[in-house]
Structure formats: structure tokens, C-alpha cells
Structure 1
Amino acid sequence: AGEISFIGGLPHPGFNGKGNVITINFKAKKEGEALFSFDESKVLADDGKGTNILVFIKGAKYFIYQPEKIGLEATTTLPRIFSPTHPNENEWYSNNTPRFQWSLIKDIKGVSFVFDKNPDTIADTVSEGLLNFKNYDLIPDGIWYFHLRLEDESGWGETFHYRIQVDTNPPYPFEIIIDNAGDSTNPKPNLYFETKDDTSGIDIYKIKIGEEKFIDLMLAQINPFPTSLLRPGNYKIIVRAIDKAKNIVQTKTSLDIDPIETPEINIWPEKYVAGEETFYIEGATLPEVEIMISLKKEDKEIKEWKTFSNSQGQWFFSTKELIQPGTYYLSVMAQDKRGAVSQVTEPKTIAISLSGIALGPILIASKTLVLIFVLILTLGILIFGFFIFRTWQTKKNLKKETREVKEIVQTSFEELRKEIEKRIEFLDSQPGFTEKEREVCEDLKKALKNSEESISKEIRDVEKELE
């Protein structure tokens, strides 16, 4: 006896699918029966909680034999029994017409075989002929053994044994019991079903509810088997019990889930101006249930809201959401704490208009538009005022600068004129001062006067522009 411990894992998101976790190779020490069992096994889901999702694990049993020899030690090639109809000695099969095959090695001159339910039968020494196969038809259910013995020049060898397991009968018929705790609105009733198989035993159950696919159920998952959350309606339930030889028995039943009380819509807006009014609805239903509100347009759900009823069964909902203009249909549905739901109410028609503008998917209410325009206008006034102020400040500075330039120009020209006249008077008092030189001095005085008048005119023009 021995024990193997193994633990492993993968980082998030783990593994999803079908695969091999570990492979263990064993070497036999002697003949006998080997039993394999599993203790404290877990397979944990990568769901943040480490939920153990392992519901069933199966052990195994193996029979270990030493290779048998034929005749004397000189025999080197040992025959093997093989069954193409029952290839695994540890599996159950529904085929009751087995076939056994073996090889006739060199120097074989006799073949003896027996087929019975005794695992230790020794075949006799009467040859059946040099056969290398044997078929049997319509054998009864159970565990059977084929015993083979060969003869060569050295005599009869040891008997070889091959086991097959046959089960042609399905499990017993059974019924499905539905337990809804006496409440036809229960959205998760429990199902009870069980059967047995006298020969190979039950291997697995398969169940199908409504339009879902068949799912596999291990024995640990039944009695009770809780259904998934079901909406109101009629469901056909099919359960198959499969034994270890793959024989199937199937049973059916029908399950009815009734809806809880349908809520009422007592107040709703037949016309709603989005962006200006409050969208308000109210009604009555069961106490303390969730109300799911749906607003559709042309069979397409546009808005979905949720609210809850109070202890008196009254419910209310309001919103100021902006909604595109058009004709809409309002309906509600109730859901209690168990997950049971009601039927959907008859739709109420609502004509929605928009107090504002729509820019593609963006809706802007009128009040929002007024606020935006006020902000823009205020910003514009501030910018314009700042520009006027800057212009006034600039003109003020320019006027000051112009006056200073004017004064400087007048002073400069006055000093320049005086200097020229002084130089002319000095030259005039000097002997040899010709008439030609006097004309040059006069031209210089005229040019100076013209320049002063031109600059003064430009300064006056600037002053006019700044007024």
C-alpha cells in the first residue's frame, strides 16, 4: 500500500476545457488485485472564492498477472488473448456476442479453451484444433472468463485467462418528482429521481430542461437536483439514466412555472417634454419586489430603469434624463427576492418631445442652452470691454507720446534754425563771402523750413486720428 499526494494550479484565468491533470506510472511487484481510491480530492474554480467544483471521482481496480509460459523454458514467444468486441477487461459492454483471438506461435500443435464464469478454471488437455479465434453468441449478462491453453512439443502450458463484462439490460424505469414547496411560482424547484441497475450499476444521469442542452449529472448531484432560475412557462424535462455498459433508460415529465402578480402602472405621462419636465410614473404591485421599467421605440429598448416597491406594494420612479423625440412604449415587470418574475404589462404610449436641440446623439435642453448663451454673451462683453480699455489706454499713451514728439521736433528745429542763422551772420561778416555762397545758405534755410512744416503736418494728422 502507498499514498501519492499532488497539488497544482495555474495563474488567473486558470484553465477551461477538458485535459489531463497528472499521469502516474506504476510497476507491479507481484500478482494480485490492485485497488486505487481517491481521498480528499478537490478541484477549485478560479472564481475568487476557490469554490470546489469536483462532484464525483471514481476509483479503479486492476488484476495483475505474471506472463505465463507455454511448455518448457525454451518457449520464447508468449501468446496473448485479445477481444476486438471487449478490448478492456475492466469495462462493461452491452455486446453479448464476444469474440476472442490469439496468435499461434511456432510449434503449437494443440489448442484448448473454456468459457465460463469462474476466474480460475483450468482448460483441459483435449485440443479443439489449431484455432486462433472463438466466437460466442447471445451470452447471458454478467462477468465471464475465457480460458486458453496451448500445447507445443514440450507439452501443455499454463492456462491464460481473459475477463469480459456484459450488461445488455438498461436500468429500471423511474419517475421524476417535482418539489416546488407548494408554490407554483417557485422559479427554482427541486427535482428528485433515481433508479438502479442490477448488473453494471448506474454510471451517470443526463438531464435536459426546456430548450437547454443535456447536461451530465454525477450521482452526488441528484436528490435533490435544483433547477436553474426559470422564467414563467411550460418546460419539458427529460432525464436519462445510463449504466456502465452505456444502456439507457429515459423518462419525461412536464414542469409549469406560474408568474407572480403582474404590476400595475397607475400614473404615467402621455406626453413628456424632455429637458423641461420630470418623467414620473407610479403604480402598485406586490410588497418589496423589484420593478424593472422598459422604454422601447420600434421594438428596440432605449432605456431600462429599476426601482423597488415599498411594504404596501406601491412603487414610484422619476428622472430628468434627456430622451430623443418620438413615440415610445412603456412597460414594467416585477421580480421578487427568489428571482420569480411576473408577466410584462401592456405597453403605455408616450409622446416625447425635446425642449432644446439634438446634436446627433447629444441632447441639450433649453435651460442649458440659455445658460450657455448667457455665458457666451458675458464672455463676449468682457472681451469687448477689455479690447476697448486696451484701445483707450493705447490712444492715451499715443497722445502723450505725440505731444512729446511735437515738442521735441519744434525745439530741435528752432535750435537748428538759430544755429544756421548764427552761422550765416558769421559768414556774412567775413570778407570774401560771395553771392553764390549766400544763395546756398538761403536754400538751406528754406529746406529746413519745409522739413519742419512737413513733420508738423504729420504730427497734426496723428493727433486728429487719436481724437
Structure 2
Amino acid sequence: MKRTAKIGLLCILVITGASGSISLAQTGARSASLFVAPPVGIFTVDSTFTVSIYVNTGGNFINAVEANLTFPPDKLQVVSPTAGKSFLQVWVNQPTYSNTAGTLKFQGAVPNPGISTESGLISTVTFRVKSVGNAVLKISDTSQVLLNDGKGTNILGQTTNGVYTLTLPPPAGPVVTSPTNPDQEKWYSAENVSFRWEALPEYQGFSYILDQDPTDAPDDISEGTRSGVQYKNLEDGVYYFHIKALRGGVWGGVTHYRVAVDSAPPAAFAIAISPSAYTSNRRPLLALETTDVTSGIDHYEIKIIPVTPQNTSQAESADRDAGTPFFIETVSPYSRQLAIGRYDVVARAYDQAGNYYQATSRLTIANPIFEILRDRGIRLGGAFIVPWPYAWTILVILVIVLSGFARTVWQWHREIEEQLRSGVHTHPSVVQKLDELRRKWGMGGNKKHFVFWALLFLVGFSLFTSASRAQTSGAAATNVSVQPPVITLFPNSISNDDILYIGGNASTPDAQVIIYLQNTDNGDTVSQNVATDKDGAWFFSFPGFLNSGRYIIWTQLKVNDEISPPSPRLDLVVAPTAVQIGTQRLSFQTLYLVLLVLFGALAAALGGFIVYHGYHFQTKKRRLLAGIQKAEESIRRGFALIRRDIEMELATIHKAKLAKELSFEERLREEKLLKDLDMVSSYIGKEVWEIEKEESEL
């Protein structure tokens, strides 16, 4: 069908001389407009009304019109579109509509030379009113008015929509009012709904019903002559109360009364803070977004509560000076310039019945670790500024210190290299064995063997070792005969680095709320007074930090000389998250950050030191152990030669002993040689040839 419509319209444009489409600006023609009549109106449920769609060509000649309209299908229903009396002589298609999608469509054309008119009727549409509310008959942006210029230029420049108020019919029966829902157009949160109606003496009875049909009628059975009724625990939704009166044995007309009930708050939501809830950006964006399935979201309110002392006094002073309310109505996203500190952001989403959901989020505006100020220097932690001359001086000193350390490391390596060039014979363990070898060898008198073997194990290795180790958290007040106020603001948790705040609503404006805070550990109790505003709202931030511990808090309301009984007590635990140093307070968060930076820097330095020197230690250790092993092997062989010489000398003494008795000096010599033989054997163990001999004997 759509394809046929497009082909038909194209054929008409060809017949009338249209061959393309260009913009209105290129033609210099005045713009045309589409509008509906009547543009406004008030119509009752179940009635019908007619709307006409017109075109004003703006003094131009046009040859085709396409008008696309939308309407709310839950409130209006098309009874019949009619093409009668239209200036359009050729319809591409009969006017089409959809009561499901809420759409209307008209497409038509006129032959050459076209038409120029200020109020050319395109079509009329008859609607039936289905329900109460506001309905907009909107001309869509896809509509067109084509100029008869041979190019099919769309000259539509303006549209005028229709806005209609849809109400219930005027009372045909008793006049009805509702104490709980006085305005039929508004939503209310009360689940219990009551109705009242006039009971004239001539009325013999009433029949009534409550349902969700706007045009329903009660039956002809009388419910009695009472003048009111109450319905309890209604579910959320829109209801209609229908009533008629019996007079003179005849039932009269029906009165309809609309009530809208929404007792549920909007859906739970979280405050989205951009760039994050912990940021150095002093103008964060606070996004508030939720839904309400019944009556819809009406508006958002927000309050930013400082929990650091310096910001608390500034914010309260600013609010008093500006006369701002307790909560500020806002739209999402909300942004405001904030000082450094911590804040509780409290946001409320209200639906059209006045219900609200309250969300709270902690926002911390922190100083950046450092900022580069072009003409001033470097600001560290937002606390102090290092001017450029001092900054360059510190950098130069740092470079000098690092250069000195680098020079020391370089000297260490030079010493290592020097030891490697000198050889392993300078190593203490090797020197000790060499001295023993020289001494023993000297006893044998054979010096040239010593020189030969000593030259074999002179290998150049040395040892350098280095090791380092690094190691690296309210109460409500009520009144007496005056109803107690309700606490709506009280922190879920607090630390001894946060400011305690409490707030709520009271039934009496311009009264005094007395807030009591008692430390349950030592019994100390303090009290503070705060005034309620003209709406009964009150809010108070305590002037200083609380010590860590357990507290209870309660309130009373004072109106003139009357004081309410104490409100229910609320428990409060203040967690220790700050260190008191004299008159200064250092939060654990700051302390942890400083320690983390220090330990991180220390760990990084030590880690680099360990990795660097550990690598060189392992490399040079392997080289040194290899050299010592070779040196000890050479020394062992030297001791082996000494042992053979000792054994040969002992053999000579043994032969002499067989021939004659040894002299005293010879016996001493034999004993000395035997001791030396045991000592030398302990150095070198068994020779290979001795092991082979033992194995052959087995």
C-alpha cells in the first residue's frame, strides 16, 4: 500500500510539472504552514468533536500536500476521517488512520496551476474522548507542502498543533466531593479514599460504584440514604466513582468523579557522580535518574551537606544569605562549584502524588597530588606551593645526590673488576691454603715444584656481594500535643573525622528543636537548638568532630513554653579514622596516603637496588666459585706432590730402620713426617691411583 501511494504521488507530481526537490532557501519563496482548528478546546469523556486540518500556502502556488499527524490513543479515538470539501482534487490514497498507533495520514494533489490559499481545507477528523487528561494532536515533521515550481520544493516552514483538555461530564446526579482527593486532575498518595455528596430531602436513596471505567453507571439497587462512603486500601491506579439518586421513584442521571491513587515511591536509584565520588574536580556532575510506574516523576530535589568544619560554616552562611530552602528543586544533571572537603549528597525523586525516594551518597573533593602552575610553581597536595626557583633547586640537588650514588656504585664495580684482574689468589681462603702449601713445601726443600704448580692455579676471579631488604573508617524530635517531627536525614555511618548532621520535618513551623547527644561510654550529654522553617523543616550540623565511641541521640520539640516528650532514641557509632596530634587532626586516609607514598618510593628504590646488585652478585659469584674451584684443585695437587715426597722419605727411613736402630733425631724426624702425612692427606683425600689400587685388591 505504501509503495502504491508513493508511486501515485510521484505520477501526480510528474503530471503537474514537478521533477525534483530543492530547498526553500534556494527558491526564495515564503514558507507555507499547516494548522488544525480548533487549536484548543475542552471536551468531556464519551463525547465527540471534530478537528479540521488546514494549509496556508504563504502566497505561493502549491500542487501537493502530505499531512501526517499523531494523537494519544489512550485518550482519543478516531471515529471517521472524511475527505469531503477538501481542496485536494486527487487523493493518492483515502485518508488512513490507526487507533492503535495513534496516527493519521493524508496525501493528495491538485493539477496545474496549483492553488494559493490562506486556509485550504485538507480534511476533517471526528474524535471520541476515551479518558480524562490532556491530548495533543501533533503535525509530524514528515509532513510536506510542495511548491508548484516544476521542482517539487518543500516549502513547509511552520506547524500549529492542537491541545485539548478532556474532562468528565458535568454532574447529572448528586454533587460529589472528596476530602481525600479534592482535585480530580491530581494524584494523591492516600490509599483510603472518601467521597461526600449532597443528600437533599427529596432523595429516596443512592446507588454508587467505584471502578476504573470512566463512563460506567451504577445499578438500580439503592445503597441507602447516607451521604458519604470510604474505600480503604486501594491499589495504585485511576478510579472513577459513579453515583445516581432515586427521587420520586425514578433514578436520575449519573455523576462521575475521578480519583488517582499512587502510594508507592519512585524506584530506588543511586546518585551517579562524574567523574567519580572521590575526585579533584571541584564541579562534579550529579546525575539523578529513576522512574515511577504509576503517576510518573514530577521533579527532583537535592541538598549537599558538608561534613568538614570549614565547609560546613561556609555552606550554612551561604544558604542563610541566599535564603535557599532546605532542599533545592533541580533537574538532572546538577552541578555546583564545591570547596575541598567531604560532602553527603542527598537527593529526592518525587512522583506526582508527592511520594519520594531519598538517596544518599558520599562525595569527596580532594586536592590533586600536584598541580603545575605556569607562572608560580608546583602546588603539592593543594596545601603549599613550591615556587619555580625552589623547585629547580630541589631538582638540581636531587640530580647531584643521584649522581653521587651513581658514582659510588661505579666505584664498587671498578673495585670488583680490579679484583677480577688481580686473580683469585688474593681471595682469603685461597691465600690461607697457599701459605700452608708454601710452608709444607719449603720443608721438603723442593722449591721449583712449588713455583710450577703455583703458576697453574693463578686464575683471575673475585667476589662482590650486596643485599638489601625492603619491607612496606539522629534522631527525630517530636512534640507534645504537637506531633513529633520526623527525622529524614541522619548519616548511616560516621567517623571521628566527619561532622554529624541531622534533619527532618516538624508539624509546627517556626518552633525550636532541641537535639540531645549522649556519649554512652562516659555519660557526657550535650544539647543543641535549631529552629524549624516556615514549612516545619529543620536541619543541624554539629560544630565540631566527635570522639570515637558509642552515642545515643534524641530530640524534643519546643513550642512556646510547651516541650514534647523525648523522641525515640537513635544509636550512633563513631568510628576512629583520625589521629589527634596536639590541636591538629590527621585523618587515617591522609596518613595512609603519606605512608603509602613513602613506602612505595622506598620499595621501588630498594627493589631496583636488589635487582641490579642481585644480578651482578649471581653473575660474579659463579665466576668466583669457578676460579676458587680451580685454585683448590691446583692446591690439592700441590699437596699430593708433598705427600709423595713425605712417603718417599718415610720409605727411606723404614729401610734404614731394618738395618739398624734409628737415632733419636731420626725417630723425631719419622714422627714429624707421619704427622705431616696425616695433615696433607686430610687436604687432598685419596688420589685416583689409590682408589684404583683398592678396587683391584677387592
TM-score, normalisation: structure 1: 0.42
Q: Which structure shows the higher helix fraction?
A: 2
TM-score, normalisation: structure 2: 0.29
